[in-house]
C-alpha cells in the first residue's frame, strides 16, 4: 500500500539547486527542507542592522537563461552590478588579483623569484600540453605552470590555508576553471606594473540591494509556491525500493522520482540498502571545514576591497571580505560588515582575537582593534569537497549506483563538487529536464 502522502517528484533540500529544480518541473512535486528557512548556503543572517551571508556569496551569472531568471525573479533593479575589487595582501603590501599576473609592488627579491621561476617553468614546459599530460598533483601542477617563486609565495601557502590539507593531497583536476593561467608575457608585464587585463572567472558580479543573497532564494521560493515547500523536515531515511522517504519525525512520503540536494555522503547514510562497494566509496569522500567570522566594525574601512587574499602563514585567516564595501546597506550607517575566513580551524576564538585585530590593523582595514564591535564564529562542515586522489572514482561509484535506483543527486553537495550558485540553478533545471525526458519516452 502506498504511504498516506505520495507525490510524483520529491525534492530534498530548498537550497538553490532544489528550488531551481522545483521551479523548472512540469509535474506535481514537494520540496522538503531540513532547516527552518530556504536558501541552503545562500542564506543571510541579520544582526543589529548588519547583514551577513555565509562568507562572500557574490553572484556570477554567465548563463543567459539563469541571468534572465534571477533578474526576472528579483526584479532587474534589485541587483547592483559590481566590478570586483579584490587584492592580495602579503609582505605588508597589496597587489592585484591574480597574484601570478600582478607581482608589481612586492619586495624586489620576491618579484625576481616569481619571474625567474615562471621563466624557468615556461622554458621546461612543452608548447602545447594535453589535459591528460598535466601533472596530477596540485602542488606539481602549480610549479609546472607558475614556477617555484609564485608557488612558494602564494599558491602553495594560500591553498593549504584554504583547503586545510597540503596541495600534494589534491589533484589538479578541480582547478582548471578557477585558477587563472596567464601567459609568461602577462606574468612579466604584471611584475613591472603594466598588466591591465582583468583575469579570472569572477571579474564582475551581481549583488542584491537589500536583504543579502538569501533574497534570491526567497524570490525563487515565492515562484515555486510556499505551499509546495515543507520546512523543518529533515529526511532521515530513503527506501529506494519502496520509493519512500521518511522524515526525522517519522512521516513517510512516497514518490515516483527523487531529486536530492543533500550532501552525497549523507544521502548514502540514509539509504536503507547500500552495496558494500558504494559504502566503501562513500567513506572516502572528504570535505573540509570552513570556520568563519561575521564581524561588525564601527567606522569606515580603510580599504575598498570586496575581498582580500592573505597567503602568509603567520596570519590565522586566509581571506577577509567586506559585504558593506560591495553594498553599504549591509551595515548600519557609519559601520562596516566583514567576514573573515579562518585558516586556523582549531584554536579557540578568544585566543585569536588579538592576532585578528592586529592583522586587520596591519592590513589598513581598521586603525584600532577597539573598533571591532563583535565577532561571531560560524562553522560549515564539508564546505569545499576535497579533490584528493580517491575523489573521482569514489564519486563516480556512488553516482553510478544512484542513477539506476532512480535518484538524481544534484547541486554542489549532491553532485559533490566545487561549484557556484549559478551552477546550482543550472543543476536544478537540468534535473527537471531529465525527468521531463524520462516521462516523454515512457
Whether a cis peptide bond, with omega within 30° of 0, leads into 98 is yes
In terms of Cβ atoms closer than 10 Å to its own Cβ (0-12, 13-18, 19+), residue 94 is middle
Between strands 372-380 and 290-298, the pairing is: antiparallel
| Nearest residue (CB) to ligand FAD, 18 versus 190 | 18
What cell was used for 86?
A: 579584490
CB of 347 to ligand FAD, least distance (A): 20
- How far is residue 257's CA from residue 368's CA, in Å, rounded to a whole number? 57
Of 42 and 155, CB closest to ligand FAD = 42
Residue 384: CB minimum distance to ligand FAD, A = 7
Using the minimum distance from each CB to ligand FAD, give the nearer residue, 216 or 331: 216
The least distance separating ligand FAD from the CB of residue 424, rounded to whole angstroms, comes to: 4
Output the smallest distance, CB 38 to ligand FAD, in A.
7
- Residue 151 has what DSSP assignment? I
Q: Walk across the sheet containing 335-342 and list its strands.
A: 93-96, 86-90, 307-309, 317-322, 335-342, 290-298, 372-380
Query: Shortest gap between Cβ of 285 and ligand FAD (angstroms)?
Result: 15
Contacting residues toward ligand FAD, per CB under 6 A: 12-18, 32-35, 40-42, 54-60, 234-235, 261-262, 266, 290, 380, 383, 411-413, 419-424
CB 302 within 8 Å of CB 365: yes
Rounded to the nearest whole angstrom, what is the least distance from the CB of residue 395 to ligand FAD in the complex? 15
DSSP 233-254: --EEEEETTTTEEEETTS-EEE
**Look-up of cell digits 540553478:** 425
Amino acid at each position: 500500500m502506498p504511504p498516506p502522502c505520495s507525490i510524483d517528484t520529491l525534492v530534498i533540500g530548498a537550497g538553490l539547486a532544489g528550488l531551481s529544480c522545483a521551479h523548472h518541473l512540469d509535474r506535481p512535486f514537494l520540496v522538503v527542507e531540513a532547516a527552518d528557512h530556504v536558501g541552503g548556503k545562500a542564506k543571510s543572517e541579520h544582526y543589529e542592522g548588519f547583514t551577513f551571508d555565509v562568507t562572500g556569496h557574490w553572484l556570477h551569472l554567465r548563463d543567459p537563461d539563469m541571468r534572465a531568471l534571477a533578474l526576472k525573479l528579483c526584479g532587474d533593479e534589485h541587483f547592483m552590478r559590481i566590478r570586483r575589487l579584490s587584492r592580495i595582501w602579503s609582505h605588508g603590501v597589496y597587489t592585484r588579483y591574480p597574484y601570478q599576473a600582478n607581482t608589481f609592488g612586492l619586495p624586489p627579491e620576491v618579484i625576481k623569484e616569481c619571474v625567474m621561476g615562471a621563466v624557468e617553468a615556461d622554458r621546461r614546459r612543452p608548447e602545447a600540453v594535453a589535459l591528460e599530460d598535466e601533472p596530477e598533483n596540485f602542488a606539481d601542477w602549480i610549479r609546472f605552470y607558475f614556477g617555484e617563486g609564485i608557488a612558494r609565495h602564494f599558491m602553495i601557502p594560500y591553498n593549504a590555508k584554504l583547503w586545510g590539507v597540503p596541495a600534494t593531497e589534491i589533484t589538479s583536476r578541480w582547478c582548471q576553471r578557477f585558477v587563472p593561467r596567464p601567459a609568461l608575457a602577462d606574468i612579466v608585464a604584471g611584475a613591472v606594473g603594466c598588466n591591465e587585463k582583468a583575469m579570472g572567472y569572477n571579474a564582475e558580479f551581481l549583488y542584491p540591494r537589500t536583504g543579502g543573497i538569501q533574497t534570491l532564494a526567497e524570490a525563487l521560493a515565492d515562484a515555486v509556491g510556499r505551499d509546495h515547500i515543507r520546512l523543518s523536515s529533515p529526511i532521515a531515511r530513503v527506501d529506494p525500493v519502496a520509493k519512500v522517504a521518511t522524515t526525522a519525525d517519522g512521516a513517510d512520503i512516497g514518490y515516483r522520482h527523487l531529486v536530492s540536494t543533500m550532501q552525497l555522503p549523507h544521502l548514502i547514510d540514509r539509504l536503507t540498502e547500500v552495496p558494500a562497494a558504494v559504502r566503501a566509496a562513500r567513506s572516502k569522500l572528504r570535505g573540509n571545514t570552513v570556520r568563519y567570522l561575521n564581524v561588525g566594525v564601527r567606522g569606515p574601512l580603510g580599504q575598498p576591497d570586496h575581498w582580500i587574499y592573505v597567503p602568509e602563514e603567520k596570519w590565522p585567516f586566509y581571506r577577509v571580505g567586506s559585504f558593506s564595501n560591495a553594498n553599504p546597506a549591509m551595515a548600519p550607517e557609519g559601520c562596516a560588515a566583514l567576514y573573515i575566513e579562518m585558516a586556523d580551524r582549531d584554536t579557540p576564538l578568544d585566543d585569536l582575537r588579538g592576532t585578528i585585530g592586529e592583522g586587520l590593523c596591519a592590513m589598513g582595514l581598521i586603525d584600532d582593534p577597539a573598533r571591532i564591535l563583535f565577532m561571531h564564529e560560524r562553522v560549515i562542515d564539508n564546505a569545499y569537497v576535497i579533490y584528493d586522489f580517491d575523489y573521482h572514482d569514489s564519486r563516480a561509484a556512488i553516482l553510478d549506483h544512484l542513477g539506476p535506483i532512480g535518484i538524481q543527486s544534484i547541486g554542489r553537495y549532491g553532485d559533490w563538487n566545487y561549484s557556484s550558485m549559478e551552477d546550482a540553478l543550472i543543476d536544478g533545471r537540468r534535473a527537471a529536464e531529465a525527468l521531463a525526458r524520462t516521462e516523454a519516452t515512457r
